[in-house]
Structure 1
Amino acid sequence: MAVKSPCVDLCAFDGKTGFCTGCYRTREEARSWKKMTDHRRHQIINERSRREAKVERSGA
């Protein structure tokens, strides 16, 4: 079964980290989500809390 996109329809990218403040993916990751392997999608989802903390530290 394919890994569901973490998109929450809040596409606003943090200028310092490059992560979306809604789903915590980069622009490139969001663009290529449908072409990624499930393994890579799981990696991105598993990095969410680390990425979220990084955005918060950057002052977004």
Structure 2
Amino acid sequence: MTASERPVASPCVNICALDDDDICTGCQRTVEEITRWSRMTNDERRTVLGLCHERAKASGLIWMLPSKSDN
């Protein structure tokens, strides 16, 4: 992280509960990702955010928005 680069913000939404796979139902991070977050580089954090997004899509928590061409 460069001196001018701001830290990537945590995806925590203060809904802290683990599912059966030990993934937080609020932010979709694993226990390891949560505990390591403060020591991760911004690149690592961006990777984790991508994984969280994929987990949320796979679990049905988020849906793909229709593209403008679908209207």
Q: What TM-score range do you get, normalising by the shorter chain?
A: 0.7 to 0.9
| Larger CA Rg, structure 1 vs 2 | 2
1:20 maps to: 24
Alignment size in residue pairs: 55
TM-score (norm 2): 0.68
Q: RMSD value over aligned CA atoms?
A: 1.4
Structure 1: runs of 5+ lacking an equivalent? none
Q: Report 1:1-60 matches (<5 A).
A: 1-15=6-20, 17-56=21-60
Q: Partner amino acid for 1:37? A: T
Question: How far 1:49 moved relative to its partner?
Answer: 2.5
User: Is contact 1:19-1:55 (8 Å) kept?
Assistant: no
For 1:30 and 1:54, the matched residues in 2 are separated by: 20
Higher helix share: 1
- % identical aligned pairs: 38
Q: RCO higher in 1 or 2 (8 Å CA, sep ≥ 6)? A: 1
Q: Which portions of structure 1, spanning 4 or more consecutive aligned residues, are displaced by more than 6 angstroms?
A: none
